[in-house]
Amino acid sequence: ATRASARAWASSASTRAQTYGMVAYMDLDDFKVINDTKGHAAGDRFLITLSNQLQQAVRKQDTIARMGGDEFVLVCGDIGKTDKEAHLFSQQIMDKINQAVRTPVHYDGFTHQCSTSTGICLFKGDAIDADELLRRADMSMYLAKKLGRGCHLHYDGAMQPKYNYQ
């Protein structure tokens, strides 16, 4: 799915049901080690296996896509009617994602385990366009990485002045 179609689907579902949705921007921590030590073909096989594990960690109606390199985006609609419910759901889904990512991947006689730094942006309806949602989730992901990796961080409007993102 393209980022626009995934966002359009989640937005229309969110608007119809008057529920929250979420966009999570994930970056694999220390993925470069695989490419540097085992080669790019091994890195590709690792990403394929990990992609399957991620797909199994989310609901059938959710969209997870590789954006390039070692970055993935998750789009979920209908995650709660209130802000509190949406935050709780996002925590639960990130726990499942983190468990999937931390599950050792076996390939070509090697085993690799990693973590992910994730930025999350919640939305309700279509007040924020797809590019801005991705930008906010991406900004939160970079801050999560800065905080020590292996964690997730929800977007907060106060992040903008503190972190000049380009």
Annotated active-site positions, please?
Answer: 70
Helix, strand, coil share (%) of the chain residues, nearest 5: 50, 25, 25
Adjacent-strand bridge partners of 26: 72, 118
Relative to beta strand 115-124, strand 152-154 is parallel
Do 131 and 23 meet the contact criterion of CB atoms below 8 Å apart?
no
CA distance 76 to 14: 9
Segment holding 42, helix H or strand E: helix 40-57
CA atoms within 13 A on the CB side of 113: 7
